[in-house]
């Protein structure tokens, strides 16, 4: 069997990739996709630890995380559509009216 540490390292790498995407990309849709990558990295940790302790609780939590991700995607994409109507751009630097 693969050691649990390998799953955690894979999850950490995926989470760091998602974080880098949020920081470096300048497209709102890609930033939302990076957030999905981070949520999935956490899901992998939940399932691996749940398997480790032999309980299904980890998978139940993953189920709830998926639900929250679906809600987040729906609201986030609605906000993206509303923002795109205002500025005709998906670049976060186009929406700096509240910045001082």
Partner 1 sequence: MLFYVFGGLAIVSALGVIGQRNPIYSVLALVLMFASLAGLYVVLDAPFTAVTQIIIYAGAIMVLFLFVVMLLNNPLEGHSPYDRSHPLRRTAAGRMGGVLAVMLVAELAWGLSRMVGAGAPVAGDVAAGAVVSSVREIGVKIFTDYRFAFEATSILILVAMIGAVVLARREEATR
Which residues, numbered 19-58, are part of the site for partner 1 (CB under 8 A)? 19-21, 23-27, 29-30, 32-34, 36-37, 40, 43-44, 47-48, 50-57
Q: What are phi and psi of 88, to 5 degrees?
A: 55, 35
**Nearest distance, CB of residue 83 and partner 1, angstroms:** 10
What does the DSSP assignment read for 36-86?
Answer: HHHHHHHHHHHHHHHHHHT-SHHHHHHHHHHHHHHHHHHHHHHHHHHHHHH
Nearer to partner 1, 16 or 97 (CB): 16
Q: Site residues for partner 1, window 69-98 (CB under 8 A)? A: 69-75, 77-82, 84-85, 89-91, 93-94
Is 43 buried (19+), middle (13-18) or exposed (0-12) by CB count in 10 A? buried
**Nearest distance, CB of residue 97 and partner 1, angstroms:** 13
Nearer to partner 1, 18 or 100 (CB): 18
């Amino acid at each position: 069997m693969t050691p649990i540490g390998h799953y955690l390292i894979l999850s950490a790498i995926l989470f760091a990739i998602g974080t880098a995407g949020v920081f470096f990309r300048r497209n709102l849709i890609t930033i939302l996709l990076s957030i999905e990558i981070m949520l999935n990295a956490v899901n992998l940790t939940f399932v691996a630890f749940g398997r480790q302790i032999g309980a299904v609780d980890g998978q139940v939590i993953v189920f709830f995380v998926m639900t929250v991700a679906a809600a987040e995607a729906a609201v986030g994409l609605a906000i993206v559509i509303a923002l795109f109507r205002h500025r005709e751009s998906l670049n976060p630097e186009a929406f700096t009216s509240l910045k001082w």
